[in-house]
Structure 1
Amino acid sequence: MNKKNFLGAVCVAVALTAVVSSCGDGTTRSAGWEFSRNMYDPIAFNPDQQNPNFKNNSTAQTPPQGSNPIGFERFDYGNSVEEYERAGLEVKNPLIANAENLKQGETLFLTYCAVCHGKEGAGDGTITKDREVEDSRGKRALENFPPPPSFQQSAGTPSSRGGQMSQLTDGKIYHTITYGYNAMGSHASQISPEDRWKVVMYVHELQKK
């Protein structure tokens, strides 16, 4: 038998074996041999399963009081003017003011804040100006939003919660980003705690203008 016929016979034998082994006898639901059973039959309990290792027989347990999820940074200040003032006195930026953090803070500010506050923090973002759009329904004006107060020292703009916008502290800016205020909504879901501090750092640069 030459090599070509030999290889052909081997292929036929393998195919025949696969077909025969996949056929059942009509009396069992067995799928045959199992490979890596533990890959789809985990040893660990699923969260919704009963678990005899705990007194309440539940796998999903309530976290201990005061514990934090992985990656979560606690901010122990409530959403009120009093807590805003307290944060302004007590909370300091934990990040080092260096070129890298400032650059990232600028990028974040331009991404999330400049549309309202303007690129220079002067309160002249694009949604505060007259805009229009043209589509299949024709040309129409878009809604204008009231301009936020300027951060810049040269503008001398007072904050609606007291003091000058150019004098807002780390804690006050961070509190406002976290909870929002007036027409500004909370940005806690868009900007991580660490990135909020980078934005705070960049806002301080805008306050110097």
Structure 2
Amino acid sequence: MMKSFVKIGIVFGMAALITSCADESRPNYQFMPNMYESVGYEPYQESSAFRNGVEAQLPAEGSVNRGWMPYDYPDTEEGYLAAKANLLSPLDSTNVEADMAKGKELFGIYCSVCHGDKGDGQGTLVKREKFLGVPNYADREITEGSVYHVIYFGRNSMGSHAAQLNEKERWQVTSYVMKLKGDLTK
């Protein structure tokens, strides 16, 4: 019986010893407190760590955004004429049907509302007289390069579609426009 009183006494003694060391008035110590309570930084705020305050946030000179391909023709009349004369589609000739189907789908979304489903310049907005003077592809001397350039930069009343279509999609629409032009001139 005495042994059990000793064991109970040891347990109570250990519990008293452990709880007596706790001081509720002082905070606990943290190992590497910056990991627990880090300072929040805004991604584009100025910093005294750099000479001009934002140096690390600027892209390296000559760098290109991921997923963006540079386009060598400027948004000028000379650039349009150069693209018209020299620019050719880089699409793979083994995937013509898939590219044409995708081009038709994208043309229906972005172009047919003005240019019409057949490329005859009789889209819904033209019929409702919201836009006038949309050309019939049969009446224009267009090439793959000129169509791509116009999709990229826009021309006259047409705005640029470079933000809506990536490079491959622009070429797919270009191929479909050339097919429509061929169908209209038959």
Does the alignment reach a TM-score above 0.5?
yes
Distance apart, 1:63 and its partner CA: 2.5
Runs of 4+ aligned structure 1 residues displaced above 6 Å come to none
| Structure 1 position 90 matched with structure 2 position 92 | no
For 2:124 and 2:165, the matched residues in 1 are separated by 21
Q: Which amino acid aligns with 2:77?
A: V
Residue of structure 2 in register with 1:123 after alignment: 121
Structure 2: runs of 5+ lacking an equivalent: 1-23
The code of the aligned residue for 2:121 comes to G
Residue aligning to 1:50: 47
Q: Which has the higher helix share?
A: 2
Report the CA distance shift for 1:203/1:38 in structure 2 as closer, same or farther (over 3 A): farther
Q: Distance in 2 between matches of 1:190 and 1:58?
A: 30
Q: 1:62 to 1:84 in 2, by over 3 A?
A: same
Aligned to 2:147: 173
* Structure 1 match to 2:105: 107
Alignment of 1:160-199 (within 5 A): 164=141, 168-199=142-173
Paired AA for residue 167 in structure 2: P
- In structure 1, the residue matched to 2:65 is 69
1:106-155 deviations in Å (ceiling 9; x for gaps): 1000000000000111111001113xxxxxxxxxxxx5311411113xxx
Note if 1:80 corresponds to 2:76. Answer: yes
Q: Name 1:17's counterpart in structure 2.
A: none
Look up the match of 1:145: 131
Q: CA deviation at 1:38?
A: 5.5
Give 5+ residue unaligned stretches, structure 1. 1-23, 131-142
Corresponding letter in the other structure for 2:135: P
SS in structure 1 opposite 2:74? coil
**What is the alpha-carbon distance in structure 2 between the residues aligned to residue 60 and residue 190 of structure 1?**
30
Using a 3 Å threshold, how does the CA distance of structure 1 residues 57 and 49 change in structure 2: closer, same or farther?
closer
Residue type of the alignment partner of 1:149: P
